[in-house]
Amino acid sequence: MEIKKILVCDDDEGILDMLALILEETGHEILLENNSMNVLSIIETQSPDLILLDLWMPVISGDQLLKSIRANSDMHDLPVIVISASRDGRKIAQQAGASAYIAKPFDYQELIDSVDACLSGDITHMSNTI
Amino acid sequence: MNTFRNGKFNLSGESLTDNFELLVKALDASISGIIITDNNQPDNPIVYCNKAFEKISGYQRSEIIGHNCRFLQKDDRAQPARQKLSDCIKIGSDCLVEIRNYRKNGDLFWNELYMSPVKDKSGHITHFIGVQNDVTDRKKAEQDLRQQKDLMEKKIEERTAELRDSEAFLSSIIQTVRESLLVLDPQFNVISANGHFLKTFKVSSEETVNKHLYELGNHQWDIPQLKELLVKILPTNNPVVDFEVEHDFPHIGRKLMLLNAYRVELEGQYKDQILLAIEDITDRREIERRKDDFLSIASHELKTPLTTIKGYIQALQRMVSSEAGERFKTTLDKVAVYVDRLNNLIAELLDVSRIQSGKIELHKTPFNFDAMIGETIEAMQTSTPSHHFILKGSTNSLIEGDESHLIQVVNNLLSNAVKYSPESKEIFIHLSRVSEYVKVSVTDHGLGISIEDQKKVFERFFRVGDVQERFPGMGIGLYICDQIIKNHKGTLWVDSKKGEGSTFSFTLPIGEGQANGN
């Protein structure tokens, strides 16, 4: 299996730790970031293959960040899975151009499947139906 | 007198006697009572009465001859008519009075008496002639009429007073209500404005009443949405209820208003006047928004650590080696179940808030109904080994609806069925198509619900009394289910018997062209 780079950005350290534990099992390289301000530069320097992105974060929200990614010609087709506890998260994620959406708290298998699907290129954007 | 000329009667009789008798017969044939009194004798005694007088008064001629007429009034002396009579007797003029007389048996009768004096050549009054008519019936009719009239007038007075009262009452209500009210004429000129209107929009009565609505307060009511309401909507949709208008007023700022308008259609002086009730919901909306924000944030913040816990539990479940004891595994599984339950409670709290503020968002898309039910039951079966779910029937329908919310409904009904039937092990789910609806029934053989409680189980925060102690809960699950089903234009209901179990059923309309009929 080809080892890919997954960047996880969430302002909650507990979530980051937990996601690190779960995603370790996939065998991919996991980058953790709790400050959304750093994400764009990390993408530029580290070139992750997939981003897991929280929505409600201080200073720059996940959807703002996602819109910037989609507007940037160097990274616009980067797969981004939005993962949020917000009630309106699905809609916001869809509008911002997410590849997939996972509601918190999530199901282990759903997360793994979604990561696999995005990394293999099966999913490029969210379907319109919920 | 033509009949008495040259000292002789000039009738057809041969002799004076003949003619005299003829005259007497004529007097007796009259239906008016006639008496003659002799004014030359003391106390004016009656010297003659005809048959009609005997009949009207009930007295025989022999009983009254020589009497003064006053016996006819018996003790009823203080009558104004008597005064008039005696005045006329004194001055010797004729007169017509209506006087209360009494028959021999004591019965009252109204006597219309025409009294005329007879004078000799020197002008001295020799006799009085009284002509009497019994007008009791007429007087009674007149009296009745007067009584009726009095009664009517009294009633009208009472009604007028009542009307004035209720008008004052009504106007005090209008002035007191905490809602702005305007009455407009058909050309939208203000006829009246209540106190709350003046207070809310900081205007005086003088600058409001008799002014055109759009010109009020420097055209601050010249609002396109309001014009649309009055000109376009009201003429065809009377009344207009809860028409929302948002407007920035120059001095008082942005206001969110609910307008209720009603055009008087009743014929009469108020016809085509327009009642405009303006409810200022700016603050209420702001409070709703803040509550909603608060619950969203609270729910988000509660879910964040929950996500971490759930993630670790799932990681642990995968890490458990095959050698680990069953007790360890089941304990871990139980933790997972209760974390899910906590998550559902948080979601429900947010749902209740949204439903109450009418903000529940449904994302309706067509989906395979039977597959949704099947998958939901399957998931529930996996996490609930204690009970056996038995699905029967099918709908073969596509439903246009919010699948995730409908899954929530089915989950709620299934988990209720499990929760309230701890002794029974089977839950039956039946699917069917009824006319243009799909129908789902979830039946358990558990505790059941009494008739009184059946009506209330769909109410917010209602918990069946004796159930609360054994099965804690918030009492919002069924309320949310009911609201979700209503939002899909379906119905949710319960059939149950205490001690025998319950069947919760709901229907959902199959949209036109959605039934695939396979």
> Above 90 in pLDDT, residue B234?
no
Flag whether A18 is in a domain.
Answer: yes
Flag whether A113 is in a domain.
Answer: yes
Q: Predicted confidence band at B359 (pLDDT cuts at 50, 70, 90)?
A: low
Residue of B nearest to A54 (CA): B304
Flag whether A128 is in a domain.
Answer: no
Q: Predicted confidence band at A98 (pLDDT cuts at 50, 70, 90)?
A: very high
Of A19, A56, A87, the CB nearest to B311: A19
Tell whether A56 lies on the interface with B, counting CB pairs under 8 A: yes
Q: Can you give the pLDDT at residue B290?
A: 85
Of B296, B310, B339, the CB nearest to A87: B296
Helix (H, G, I), strand (E, B), or coil: what is residue B89?
helix
Tell whether A105 lies on the interface with B, counting CB pairs under 8 A: yes
> Above 90 in pLDDT, residue B337?
no
The count of structural domains within chain A is: 1
State the Cα–Cα distance between residues B347 and A56, nearest whole angstrom.
18
Query: ipTM, 2 decimals?
Result: 0.88
Q: What is the mean pLDDT of residues B271-293?
A: 86
Cβ distance of A14 and B365 shorter than 8 Å: no
Cβ distance of B300 and A86 shorter than 8 Å: yes
Flag whether A127 is in a domain.
Answer: no
The helix (run of H) or strand (run of E) holding residue B330 is: helix B326-356
State the best of B296, B300, B383 to mutate against chain A, taking most chain A CBs within 10 Å.
B300
Choose between B289 and B304: higher pLDDT: B304
Q: Can you give the pLDDT at residue B111?
A: 92
Chain B partners of A62 at a C-beta cutoff of 8 Å? none
Which residue type, as a one-letter code, is found at position B400?
Answer: E
Say whether the peptide bond before residue B239 is cis (omega within 30 degrees of 0). Answer: yes
Q: Predicted confidence band at B293 (pLDDT cuts at 50, 70, 90)?
A: confident
Q: Predicted confidence band at B351 (pLDDT cuts at 50, 70, 90)?
A: confident
Find the range with the poorest average confidence among A32-41, B19-28, B300-309. Answer: B19-28
User: Radius of gyration over alpha carbons of chain B, in Å?
Assistant: 49
Q: Can you give the pLDDT at residue A130?
A: 40
State the best of A18, A82, A110, A128 to mutate against chain B, taking most chain B CBs within 10 Å.
A18
Alpha carbon of A115: minimum distance to chain B alpha carbons (Å): 15
Choose between B344 and B308: higher pLDDT: B308
Across chain B, mean pLDDT equals: 86
Q: Can you give the pLDDT at residue A129?
A: 42
The helix (run of H) or strand (run of E) holding residue B280 is: strand B274-280
State the Cα–Cα distance between residues B345 and B27, nearest whole angstrom.
112
Each residue's pLDDT tens digit, B173-204: 888 888 899 999 888 899 989 999 988 888 88
Q: Can you give the pLDDT at residue B55?
A: 92
Tokens of A130: 């919920």
- Cβ contacts of residue B131 below 8 Å, gap of 6+? B32, B33, B34, B113, B114, B115, B116
Q: Can you give the pLDDT at residue B97?
A: 93
Domains of chain B: 31-134 (3.30.450.20), 177-280 (3.30.450.20), 286-356 (1.10.287), 365-509 (3.30.565.10)
State the Cα–Cα distance between residues B485 and A39, nearest whole angstrom.
43
Q: Predicted confidence band at B371 (pLDDT cuts at 50, 70, 90)?
A: very high
The answer to whether B494 and B502 are in contact (CB under 8 A) is yes
Cβ distance of B403 and A130 shorter than 8 Å: yes
Cβ distance of A130 and B300 shorter than 8 Å: no
Tell whether A106 lies on the interface with B, counting CB pairs under 8 A: yes
State the Cα–Cα distance between residues A70 and A74, nearest whole angstrom.
9
Q: Can you give the pLDDT at residue B10?
A: 67
Cβ distance of B299 and A87 shorter than 8 Å: yes
User: Radius of gyration over alpha carbons of chain A, in Å?
Assistant: 13
Tell whether B143 lies on the interface with A, counting CB pairs under 8 A: no
State the Cα–Cα distance between residues B393 and B64, nearest whole angstrom.
111
> Above 80 in pLDDT, residue A123?
no
- Closest of A113, A112, A98, A6 to residue A49, by C-alpha: A6
Q: What is the mean pLDDT of residues B106-126?
A: 91
Flag whether A19 is in a domain.
Answer: yes
Residue of B nearest to A12 (CA): B304
> Above 90 in pLDDT, residue B323?
no
Tell whether B356 lies on the interface with A, counting CB pairs under 8 A: no
State the Cα–Cα distance between residues B350 and B37, nearest whole angstrom.
109
Chain A partners of B363 at a C-beta cutoff of 8 Å? 130
Q: Can you give the pLDDT at residue B517?
A: 41
Q: Can you give the pLDDT at residue B19?
A: 81
Each residue's pLDDT tens digit, B54-87: 999 999 999 999 999 888 998 888 889 888 988 8
The answer to whether B371 and B478 are in contact (CB under 8 A) is no
Cβ distance of A129 and B365 shorter than 8 Å: yes
Chain B partners of A19 at a C-beta cutoff of 8 Å? 311
The helix (run of H) or strand (run of E) holding residue B180 is: strand B180-184
Assign residue A97 the CATH number of its domain.
3.40.50.2300
Choose between B351 and B181: higher pLDDT: B181
Tell whether B5 lies on the interface with A, counting CB pairs under 8 A: no
Q: What is the mean pLDDT of residues B275-283?
A: 89
Q: What is the mean pLDDT of residues B37-64?
A: 91
Q: Can you give the pLDDT at residue B474?
A: 66
- Closest of B221, B201, B202 to residue B211, by C-alpha: B221
Across chain A, mean pLDDT equals: 90
Q: Can you give the pLDDT at residue B369?
A: 93
The helix (run of H) or strand (run of E) holding residue B297 is: helix B282-319
Flag whether A130 is in a domain.
Answer: no
Q: Predicted confidence band at B472 (pLDDT cuts at 50, 70, 90)?
A: low
Q: Predicted confidence band at B248 (pLDDT cuts at 50, 70, 90)?
A: confident
Q: What is the mean pLDDT of residues B267-279?
A: 86
State the Cα–Cα distance between residues B125 and B121, nearest whole angstrom.
9
Flag whether A71 is in a domain.
Answer: yes
The percent of residues above 70 in pLDDT, for chain B, comes to 93
Domain interval for residue A21: 6-49+62-119
> Above 60 in pLDDT, residue B515?
no
Flag whether A125 is in a domain.
Answer: no
Cβ distance of A14 and B305 shorter than 8 Å: yes
